[in-house]
């Protein structure tokens, strides 16, 4: 099973090619430019490094959200174009789940936080049970204070939202707050690929024509026009 995975859900952009559990090639960047400036160039470079052609892939994985509206549109539209042209299936993976999966050695609650701007974060809660990542809450968007107000147990915070609101979280959680290492806070496309594997094997793929980002919140443009 050979998968090309793409993540453009946040400021960072990551591309990877994975074969089963082996990483063939991966490239990640956090430039300030819009992802449209470098995404296809990165895909072409990673494919070249992997030694594969698009026709040799079994499918495409991509983060479906939540995250930045423009970033998600760019990544998903690019993957849909590749899938349509090649006739290969697509699997969409939660950006929050991807972050949580990168904290696989933490034995307690895991709370990924993605900066949603406007003083809010996208968040959910996960826990590893018998080696499997289990979701404990729906994906939501709230102020960071509301996202953590009911936590009273040890919790690992991960993602750019965790970095942005670390001081507030420490003030609220004290010794129960743990934070991921700096290199874990950026979504890696290889993580997205690994999370998609079982779905590909089970034929649980997304309809390419109907596949759209899962924003959770209305866009900034819509909020500016109509208000919260």
Q: What pLDDT digit, counting tens, does each position of 174-223 carry? A: 999 999 998 899 999 999 999 999 999 999 999 999 999 999 976 554 44
Please report the sign of the dihedral spanned by the C-alpha atoms of residue 142, residue 159, residue 181, residue 197: positive
Q: Which of 36-40, 81-85, 87-91, 116-120 has the lowest mean pLDDT?
A: 36-40
Q: Does the domain spanning 103-184 belong to CATH 3.30.420.40?
A: yes
Q: What integer pLDDT is reported at residue 218 of this predicted model?
A: 65
Q: Which CATH class is domain 2-95+187-220?
A: alpha beta
Is the pLDDT at 131 greater than 90? The verdict is no
Q: Are 142 and 190 in contact (CB under 8 A)?
A: no
Could you tell me what percent of the chain has a pLDDT over 70? 95
Encode pLDDT of 134-159 as tens digits.
999 999 999 999 999 999 999 999 99
Is the pLDDT at 68 greater than 60? The verdict is yes
Could you tell me which of 166, 163, 161, 164 has the C-alpha nearest to residue 177? 166
State the span(s) of the chain assigned CATH 3.30.420.40.
2-95+187-220, 103-184
The residues with which 42 forms a beta bridge, in sequence order, are: none
Q: What integer pLDDT is reported at residue 32 of this predicted model?
A: 73
Is residue 228 very low, low, confident or very high in pLDDT (cuts 50, 70, 90)? low
């Amino acid at each position: 099973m050979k998968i090309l995975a793409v993540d453009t859900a946040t400021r960072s952009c990551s591309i990877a090619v994975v074969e089963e559990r082996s990483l063939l090639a991966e490239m990640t960047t956090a430039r300030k430019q819009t992802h449209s400036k470098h995404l296809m160039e990165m895909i072409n470079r990673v494919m070249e490094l992997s030694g594969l052609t698009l026709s040799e892939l079994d499918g495409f994985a991509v983060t479906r959200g939540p995250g930045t509206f423009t970033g998600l549109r760019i990544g998903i539209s690019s993957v849909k174009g590749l899938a349509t042209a090649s006739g290969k299936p697509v699997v969409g993976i939660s950006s929050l789940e991807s972050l949580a999966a990168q904290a696989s050695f933490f034995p307690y609650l895991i709370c990924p936080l993605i900066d949603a701007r406007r003083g809010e974060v996208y968040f959910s809660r996960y826990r590893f049970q018998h080696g499997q990542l289990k979701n404990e809450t729906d994906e939501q968007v709230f102020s960071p204070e509301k996202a953590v107000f009911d936590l009273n147990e040890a919790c690992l915070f991960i993602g750019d939202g965790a970095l942005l609101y670390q001081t507030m979280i420490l003030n609220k959680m004290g010794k129960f707050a743990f934070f991921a290492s700096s290199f874990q806070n950026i979504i890696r496309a290889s993580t997205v690929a690994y999370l998609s594997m079982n779905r590909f094997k089970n034929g649980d793929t997304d309809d390419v024509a109907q596949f759209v980002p899962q924003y959770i919140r209305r866009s900034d443009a819509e909020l500016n026009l109509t208000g919260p």
